[in-house]
Amino acid sequence: MEKLAILGGPKTINYSFKQYNPIGKEECLAVDEVMKTGVLSQYLGVWDRDFFGGPKVQEFETVAQKYFGVKHAVVVNSCTSGLIAAIGAIGIEPGDEVIVSPWTMTATATAILMWNAIPVFADIDREFFNIDPVSIEKNITPHTKAIIAIDIYGHSADMDSILEIANKHNLKVISDCAQAPSAKYKDKFAGTISDIGVFSLNYHKHIHTGEGGIIVTNDDNNAERLQLIRNHAEAVVESKGVSNLSNMLGFNFRMGEIEAAIGIEQFKKLGKITDHMTALGEQLTIGLKSLESLNPPKVKENCTHVYYAYPLILDTEQLGIKRDVIHQALVAEGVPIGQGYTNIHLLPLYQEKIAYGNDGFPWSSDVYKGNVKYNKGICPVAEKLHEKEIMAIPTCMHDWGKEDINIIIKAFTKVWSQLDALRAYDDAGNE
């Protein structure tokens, strides 16, 4: 048996994986066409024909709208912009509470703060890493106005339960589907059954436009408000005849024509890309599921997982080896693997409650009547996962085929075949 690489043996994976790149000649040609027109953006921040953007932006919206089977798609320059626009569009007011999970990228929660509203962190469930409906219910107060469900890693949150809670308490639901384009929740696409769904088109996602985002909704009023917030609402409302002025402070969240042209081509590849990612995830699960105390991600019945990343939970107590030691051993074998999300509620922003200025605004403001807590312990599942249990393979960052996955499985199997040696390494105080 070959010695583990962490103990001085040979590395299992001796080559560099190719970087993931979904951009091909179709995108190059599409960009070239736009460049020849010289019109790289065709927006005007006034109520005019150009309020809705140029031809490529509008064509891209039609492509996305048809693909997702929704009434409206509004494209923006990032998912972060999309989330900010979504919070504003659903009418969140200063001091309102919005429930979100801490197991996400920071922008999901800061989008709430951008409107001077208050993020309240509910815990995640240990099976799917998505916001736990039981924890949502526990965190509802008279100030709660909305829930953001994140389809983390590419698998939908428990939307049936979340929508039921939202109906019962009259709350809006936004889905952050940055990592789950084309994932299915039952017979629908992720993001399409909430009030608003938001997708990311940044460089690291399944499909991308460099930077970019797509917002989807079936509600005409939401769509109009999203379009206004995207494009300088305050300068447009009067001539457009919009009477609800709340949150009609606009931004420049506009996508350019080049990005839209790339996006149109990327959408033609989306289904194939996510099918490939799903197949790689399934191959990993088949190869890893028999390894002791290692839990591959689950997939709910009637749902699909598009494996933006591939999370693994280690039962470290059963295993008797620290996660960090296992992680190091895998990295030494050449496996590209990370340690999962930071818990957002533990960031200085929330611990110090310093967002705008230095006096604790918006938490300290008179408009906020609640008493949110961000102390360690409020999200025990997410906290324990982060501290000692989770690892994640960034599937969407590599151009992997079956053979690459086989060698990754081989590296895991090698590490697992010598757990006693790793236990001794761990017991000797190595980390």
Ligand X SMILES: Cc1ncc(COP(=O)(O)O)c(C=O)c1O
- Residues within the interface to ligand X (CB under 6 A): 78-80, 104-105, 107-108, 150, 176, 178-179, 200, 202, 213
Residue 424 phi/psi, 5-degree rounding, is -65, -40
Q: How far is the CB of 310 from ligand X (least distance, A)?
A: 15
Q: How far is the CB of 118 from ligand X (least distance, A)?
A: 19
Contact 5, 411 (CB under 8 A): no
Q: Please give the single-letter amino acid code of residue 274.
A: T
Q: How far is the CB of 40 from ligand X (least distance, A)?
A: 20
Q: Please give the single-letter amino acid code of residue 125.
A: D
Residue 146 phi/psi, 5-degree rounding, is -160, 165
Q: Which two tokens stand for residue 95?
A: 């001091």
State the angle between helix axes of 55-68 and 257-288 in degrees (0 to 180), rounded to the nearest 10. Answer: 30
CA atoms of 144 and 117, how far apart (whole Å): 10
Question: Tokens 């005849």 belong to which residue?
Answer: 241
Q: How far is the CB of 82 from ligand X (least distance, A)?
A: 7
Q: How far is the CB of 80 from ligand X (least distance, A)?
A: 3
From residue 277, alpha-carbon distances to 54, 269, 382, 412 in Å are 33, 12, 25, 20
Q: How many CB atoms lie within 10 A of CB 427?
A: 11
Nearer to ligand X, 12 or 200 (CB): 200
Nearer to ligand X, 203 or 361 (CB): 203
Nearer to ligand X, 150 or 294 (CB): 150
CA atoms of 336 and 395, how far apart (whole Å): 9
Is 118 strand, coil or helix? Answer: strand
Q: How far is the CB of 156 from ligand X (least distance, A)?
A: 13
Nearer to ligand X, 101 or 418 (CB): 101
Q: How far is the CB of 364 from ligand X (least distance, A)?
A: 27
CA atoms of 95 and 113, how far apart (whole Å): 9
Nearer to ligand X, 198 or 294 (CB): 198
